[in-house]
Amino acid sequence: MLRNTLDFIPEIPIAEGTEIVTDWLKNTFSFVFNPIKEHFGNLMEFVAEDILMNIPPIIFIILVALLAFFVTGKKLGLAAFSIVGLVLIYNQGHWDDLMNTVTLVLLASLLSVIIGVPVGIIMSKSKIANAIFTPILDFMQTMPAFVYLIPAVAFFGIGMVPGVFASLIFATPPTVRFTNLGIRQVSKDLVEASDAFGSTGVQKLFKVELPMAKATIMAGINQTVMLALSMVVIASMIGAPGLGSQVLSSLQRAQVGTGFVAGLGIVILAIIIDRITQNMNKKNV
């Protein structure tokens, strides 16, 4: 009896309403979604196939190792790990998958930073903006990652583009939050001193606040890059190529060995990216 006490409330047509709104958005803004799908897809293919895959693997490995060497203060540890790890991925025949994964992570992270830093600055400057964006960021971070695939597929179909779109939504919040936090933590004495010297708002932002908040912002960017990488396997469910697609394919076919190798490649890439971005942050402290 108790289970049926709420049956008098009519069912709210949330699913039907969502379908209607989605169809309306797709039809009304098709002039926006279709060019993004086409041109951004072409850009991603250009980056992956015409640039990264045309770089000889040995050159790419040396460049990554040199970057790791100088970023870590000329220490050999990360550089040696990068060489061994990337050679292992090449040896296992997953080099093209690696380049597709790097493309997805690179573009998703870049877009997240381009969007996230300005939004974080706006939040730090406006209480109204902070009140508006905070619940949106909470929603973005608490929503299960798989749910992001639904609007991605609805608006952009399948492939690398919706994978980047889903990664963008999932990975942007840390950059926004850390930028907001970093600027708010800048010493008020420094801000007042810049005001006393007649600095404009733009001068104060770029010469005082952003430099002082750089370490915090870089920590947010590090988290954004890692979250974008964590979406690799999930994005493969909607057709995004790369190491994630190999993991998914192996899971579907119960190929433990192949899945382990592809997963190991993701782990190697994650360690390299994480250590490089972390050391960039330390160099900027």
Residue 68, in any domain of the structure: no
Could you give the number of structural domains in the chain?
A: 1
Angstrom CA distances, 176 to 60, 135, 167, 216, 278, stand at 31, 13, 15, 11, 18
Residue 102, in any domain of the structure: yes
Residue 84, in any domain of the structure: no
Calculate mean pLDDT across residues 239-252.
84
Q: What is the spatial distance between Cα 41 and Cα 49, in angstroms, rounded to a whole number?
A: 12
> Average per-residue pLDDT in the chain?
85
The contacts found for 74-83 with CB under 8 angstroms, 24 or more apart, are 78/272, 78/275, 78/276, 78/279, 81/271, 81/272, 82/272
Question: Tens of pLDDT along 18-67?
Answer: 888 888 888 888 877 788 877 777 887 888 778 888 889 999 999 999 99
Q: Fill in the amino acid letter for 159.
A: G
* CATH number of the domain within which 167 lies: 1.10.3720.10
Question: Hey, is 240 helix, strand or coil?
Answer: coil
Residue 206, in any domain of the structure: yes
Residue 275, in any domain of the structure: yes
Residue 87, in any domain of the structure: no
Angstrom CA distances, 178 to 62, 120, 132, 221, stand at 32, 7, 17, 8
Residue 250, in any domain of the structure: yes
Range of the domain at 144: 14-54+92-283
pTM for the full predicted model: 0.83
Question: Tens of pLDDT along 68-103?
Answer: 999 988 888 999 999 999 999 999 989 999 998 998
Residue 276, in any domain of the structure: yes
